[in-house]
Chain A
Amino acid sequence: MTATLDAARKTAQNTEISLAQAVNRALRDAMTADDKVVVFGEDVGVLGGVFRVTDGLTRDFGEQRCFDTPLAEAGIMGTAIGMAMYGFRPVVEMQFDAFSYPAFEQIASHLAKMRNRTRGALPLPVVVRVPYGGGIGGVEHHSDSSEGYFVATPGLHVVTPATVSDAYTMLRAAIESDDPVIFMEPKRLYWSKDVLSTTGPEIGKAAVRRAGADATLIAYGPTVSTALEAAEAAEAEGYDLEVVDLRSIVPFDDATVCESVRKTGRAVVIHEAAGFGGTGAEIAARVSERCFHWLEAPVRRVTGFDIPYPPPKLERHHLPSVDRILDAVASLQWEDR
């Protein structure tokens, strides 16, 4: 009997779930663990969200715990802030990256600042879930990489999972955090599947996804899988690449990144957002400041172009690709090797 149960449990444990399902499970488990956790946003109730991430939450927890809001992102964010002031832990959804912009004033002027301006008296444990990035054939305003705006706003934590297990563990940690967390969900990974592990490194720690000796690919969110693909392809060209998944942009894990770059001596930073003034610029600067004497070549960036996000039939030219990453790697001054 016990053996059968164990076998069943093992099967359940080995069942692959999607990243969207992992987010759903994290919300469920957090709502079960703490009745102050509430989930709200546009279409997150009966419909379960446009990506089905909140599927069944209203049914299972009731409308007081997971509810639809009027269609107004500043209102959603402001309401979350007010609820957090009263002791709740709201998790709100900005339906798509570019739809979060109306909420930006609430995020920048209040969510990020409230704890500081009140000397810690009003912490705001709010999680803002932002499905972001391209690659899903979305029309205008549905594919932005908006992390740069949040990263440039002190007072926020900005994290982004690239794996099923990180989606779960990082969201649980974000909900438990007493700081506001912008939780950027790479929407093109929503349907990627893996076996879920409910334990993982804490927020703020980067993960080495692939060990290598020759150069470090630094990626986060949607570009981690592209970086891994590029690393596989690079093997044929004779490069042994290491891939670092940042997981968290704020706080930034200088230690893991620098350890890797000092080992390999070369670095390429990859993200979908425009390069100019982007997160990659900060990462390249940090690496240059800290690893200059170990670097064999300038830090390169492979990013989206400095253009408004293109229409679906052109996005393949815009998104960082395996080829573009390989070209960047090839340009890292290998002459004297």
Chain B
Amino acid sequence: MTVLATPDKTGSGFPLGFDTILDPSPLQYLDEHGALSGVLRDDAPELAPERLLATWRAMVVGRRFDVQATTMVRQGRLAVYPSSYGQEACEIGAILALRATDWFFPTYRDCVSMVTRGIDPVEALTLLRGDWHCGYDPQRWRTAPQCTPLATQAPHAAGLALAAKLAGDDTVALAFCGDGGTSEGDFHEALNFAAVYQAPVIFFVQNNQYAISVPLAKQTHAAALAHKAVGYGMAGVRVDGNDVIAVQRVVAEAAERARAGEGPTLIEAVTYRMQAHTNADDATRYRDEAEVEYWKPRDPLARLETYLKASGLLTDAVAAEANQAAEALADDMRARLGEEPEVDHRDLFRYVYAQPTPQLLEQAAGLQAEIDAAEADTEGEAGR
């Protein structure tokens, strides 16, 4: 791994060897043409044929999920959907490099990673459909509820990782965050706490170049977001976020370091948000189409596919199975998200407290009486 911040490797004449060690060019193994650089050792687990095919399959399914979710917003079945189209190498690579016992902390843009974890697509989209806030059981999936206030989940990941360390478990926590989130105070406090406690946590920044409309240049003056690791005394690495092999390798090594008691890692994955922020956003107001065109050939799925085809691993049969699985998922989403979800008004009060206040019980009874009265009225009218 390119450990950017290693004070003992300086010797440049500058305090931290800033211009010599902090090379901001991202680590890349699989280039945009689908060619594998010779840097990665042949025995890297990410290069095992079955692993490569499983990764590709997850990306095909993940992308189909994303496209289907976007469609369902247009059909009015979801309130909103922040697409991660084009960020599949991050969404999927990071998750595949973790163990099932590891925790991860997604944001609202990370549905694809949740589905990759195994969470039911309908449960993953509960928040965005609006029938509840978190639709899945976080304990079962070791997945925190999707976080909306930017970077506020990062200190949770640090805390959970510290707890795991104190408990003597080898659990690792991974927190996703965007480039915009790195400006939030909680991001910095989380990095600092994690470094001070040497907590087994990975902060994975998907630098997709935009925070809604604000480009990275207005978010930071730093040459790389990964450089922020230096100030906290932790390892930082900048990786090509559209190279799923490099992403997996970097996360796997960060997790190994964390498990070995070597503390947290900051990963900056350089990628691009191909779609607007959400369906409610108009990206033409703040970026040129030429910029989007630049990124299209750098697509993470296409480059892996090119590599797999060139190396003869991706047969028609394998491709057919994956596409079938993706279509089955889309069909399932259409069917189950097409139905109006059932909601229960009693849920408004049910989960607020373990020990509900008398005031809340009174309000719950009041709402129930209102609803009962309305139903009685309706029945009365029907009976007339």
Contacts and interface: CB of A to CB of B under 8 A. Distances in A.
Given A78-B186, A83-B162, A251-B357, A118 B138 contact: yes
A121 B357 CA distance: 19
Contact of B192 (A72, A80, A106): A72
Interface stretch (B80-88, B147-155, B282-290, B329-337): B147-155
A250 B354 contact: no
Interface stretch (B44-52, B106-114, B302-310, B345-353): B345-353
A69 B161 CA distance: 15
8 contacts: A72-B189, A75-B192, A78-B189, A81-B159, A82-B160, A121-B138, A122-B138, A155-B353
A254 interface: yes
Interface stretch (A84-92, A188-196, A262-270, A309-317): A84-92
Query: What are the 5 A-B residue pairs with the smallest beta carbon separation, nearest first?
Result: A82-B159, A78-B155, A75-B189, A117-B133, A251-B357
A70 interface: yes
B351 A105 contact: no
B378 interface: no
A44 to B, nearest CB: 15
A64 B162 CA distance: 10
A109 B152 CA distance: 9
A128 B212 CA distance: 35
A291 interface: no
A78 B154 contact: yes
B149 A105 contact: yes
A115 B354 contact: yes
B359 interface: yes
Interface string B191-210: 01100100000000000000
Contacts of A255: 358
Nearest to A119: B351
Contacts of A250: 357
Contacts, number: 147
A86 B171 CA distance: 10
A238 interface: no
Contacts of B134: 117-119, 121
Interface string A133-172: 0000000000000000000001101000000000000000
Given A81-B155, A82-B155, A118-B138, 5 more contacts: A72-B189, A75-B155, A78-B155, A82-B161, A83-B159
B160 A179 contact: no
A177 interface: yes
Contact of A88 (B155, B161, B163, B350): B163
Contacts of B144: 85, 122
Given A78-B156, A82-B155, A251 B351 contact: no
A179 B354 contact: yes
Given A64-B166, A83-B163, A106-B155, A115 B193 contact: no
A110 B192 CA distance: 20
B342 to A, nearest CB: 14
A154 B156 CA distance: 21
A115 B349 CA distance: 11
Contacts of B138: 85, 118, 121-122
Contacts of B59: none
Contact of A119 (B132, B152, B157, B353): B132
B185 interface: yes
A254 B357 CA distance: 11
Given A82-B160, A86-B163, A86-B164, A251 B358 contact: yes
Interface string A227-254: 0000000000000000000000011101
Interface in B161-181: 161-164, 166-167, 171, 173
B189 A70 contact: yes
A36 B354 CA distance: 19
Nearest to A120: B351
B311 interface: no
Given A80-B159, A122-B139, A252-B359, A116 B133 contact: yes
B158 interface: yes
Contacts of B155: 74-75, 77-79, 81-82, 106
Contacts of B192: 70, 72, 75
Given A70-B193, A72-B192, A85 B186 contact: no
B152 A105 contact: yes
Contact of B163 (A87, A122, A179, A254): A87
Interface string A111-133: 00111111111110000000000
A70 B196 contact: yes
Interface centre among A119, A154, A179, A255 (most CB of B within 10 A): A119
A121 B139 contact: yes
B120 interface: no
Given A70-B189, A85-B144, A105-B186, A110 B156 contact: yes
B145 interface: yes
B152 A178 contact: no
Contacts of A118: 133-134, 137-138, 145, 351
B152 A110 contact: yes
B352 A154 contact: yes
Given A82-B156, A85-B160, A116-B133, A74 B189 contact: yes
Contacts of B352: 115-116, 154-155
Contacts of B185: 74, 102
Contacts of B164: 86
B61 interface: no
Contacts of B350: 119-120
A123 to B, nearest CB: 6
A203 to B, nearest CB: 8
A170 to B, nearest CB: 14
A87 to B, nearest CB: 7
Contacts of B133: 113, 116-118
A204 interface: yes
A255 B361 CA distance: 14
